[in-house]
């Protein structure tokens, strides 16, 4: 039977995160003496040194401490999941769930997930954030997010994923553009016109690849980091854009009409994924959300628009 306690592991992880006993004590709202005593007790039970203490320089984890930190964090997560499951008697889902979403996708995906969670699992404390893809990946690996909805573009190794649906890039035009009523448009036909570039990674890199594959060098005149600003500029006739996400309404925020035209030859499809760090066991809440999103997220794609999922 293990002689260490969950409290000792909690204090140890806090010390590792804070980099000092004083910092951990401040986060835990207890005295540094109590933290130091708990840490010494854990080292005594495990019969190994976990940290190197340096006056005025905080602590450094030993190799054993690095190993224990990872295992302790997993054990503490499992212990919290057990507490939540026991408190509900296994009758329902409860507890925190943090979900991030790439900024341009969030207005269509997140409302579906928030509504479903509120209606079917009201005891789940769902927190949602909309950020750039790089920020979301960093938040996943740091443990700040359980899941993230992203494009399958430039993702690093170490992520596990489930495909929600796929989309193709298209040309966004002012409603009175000469190509607005066309069945498709070649990027070469627009090469001399001003391009309004959505410069939000990885969208900008993907757009550059689409043009490169078409053998076209675009004339970029405006760069934005906001999807709706891009649409508004196009609607005012200031240029065209190549984007992936497609709202259900072909109008800008100002109410001006827009035209969406497929690219010919068709650009490659892009997957919309829900991802999480490989090797991390999803909570029951996260598993339920992934299952629902995989089954219903396609309904948020304008090409397959259906009645709201229940």
310 in any annotated domain: no
User: Do 161 and 300 share a domain, yes or no?
Assistant: yes
Alpha-carbon span 244 to 166, nearest angstrom: 10
Question: Does residue 79 sit in the same domain as residue 20?
Answer: yes
271-309 pLDDT per residue, tens: 999 999 988 888 888 999 999 999 988 777 665 554 444
Name the domain boundary from 36, 64, 88: 88
Q: Is the dihedral angle over the CA atoms 117, 119, 122, 125 positive or is it negative?
A: positive
Number of domains in the chain: 3
Instruction: Report pLDDT digits (tens) over 53-77.
Output: 887 678 888 988 888 888 888 787 7
Q: Residue 307: which residues within 8 A CB-CB, separation 6 or more?
A: 299
- Rounded Cα gap, residues 258 and 261, in angstroms: 10
Q: Do residue 258 and residue 116 come from a single domain? A: no
Retrieve residue 251's tokens: 């109008």
One domain, residues 234 and 176? yes
Q: What is the pLDDT of residues 79-102, one digit of tens each?
A: 776 666 655 555 578 888 999 999
State which residues form the domain around 34.
6-88
Q: Are residues 73 and 196 in the same domain?
A: no
Tell me the per-residue pLDDT of 126-163, one tens digit each, with 9 for 90 and over: 999 999 999 999 999 888 899 999 999 989 999 999 99
Q: Kindly state whether residue 243 falls inside one of the protein's structural domains.
A: yes
| Residue 279 region by backbone torsions, left for phi larger than 0, else alpha for psi between -120 and 50, else beta | left
Let me know: does 233 contact 195? Beta carbons within 8 Å: no
């Amino acid at each position: 039977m293990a002689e260490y306690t969950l409290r000792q592991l909690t204090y140890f992880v806090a010390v590792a995160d804070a980099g000092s006993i004083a910092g951990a004590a401040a986060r835990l709202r207890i005295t540094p003496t109590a933290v130091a005593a708990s840490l010494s007790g854990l080292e005594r039970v495990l019969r190994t040194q976990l940290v190197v203490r340096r006056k005025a320089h905080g602590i450094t984890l030993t190799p054993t401490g690095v190993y224990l930190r990872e295992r302790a964090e997993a054990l503490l997560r499992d212990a919290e999941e057990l507490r939540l499951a026991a408190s509900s008697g296994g009758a329902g889902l409860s507890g925190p769930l943090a979900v991030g979403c790439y900024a341009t996708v969030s207005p269509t995906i997140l409302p579906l997930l928030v509504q479903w969670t509120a209606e079917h699992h009201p005891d789940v404390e769902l927190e949602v954030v909309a950020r750039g893809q790089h920020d979301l990946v960093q938040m996943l690996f740091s443990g700040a997010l359980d899941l993230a909805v992203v494009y399958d573009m430039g993702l690093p190794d170490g992520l596990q994923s489930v495909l929600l649906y796929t989309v193709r890039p298209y040309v966004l035009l002012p409603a009175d553009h000469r190509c607005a009523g066309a069945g498709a448009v070649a990027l070469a036909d627009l090469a001399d016109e001003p391009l309004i570039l959505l410069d939000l990674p990885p969208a900008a890199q993907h757009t550059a690849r689409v043009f490169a594959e078409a053998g076209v060098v675009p004339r970029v005149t405006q760069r934005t980091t906001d999807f709706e600003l891009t649409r508004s500029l196009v609607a005012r006739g200031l240029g065209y854009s190549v984007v992936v996400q497609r709202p259900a309404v072909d109008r800008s925020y100002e109410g001006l009409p827009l035209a969406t035209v497929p690219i010919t030859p068709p650009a490659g499809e892009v997957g919309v994924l829900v991802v999480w760090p490989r090797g991390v066991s999803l909570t029951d809440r996260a598993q339920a959300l992934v299952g629902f999103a995989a089954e219903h997220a396609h309904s948020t794609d304008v090409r397959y628009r259906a009645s709201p999922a229940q």
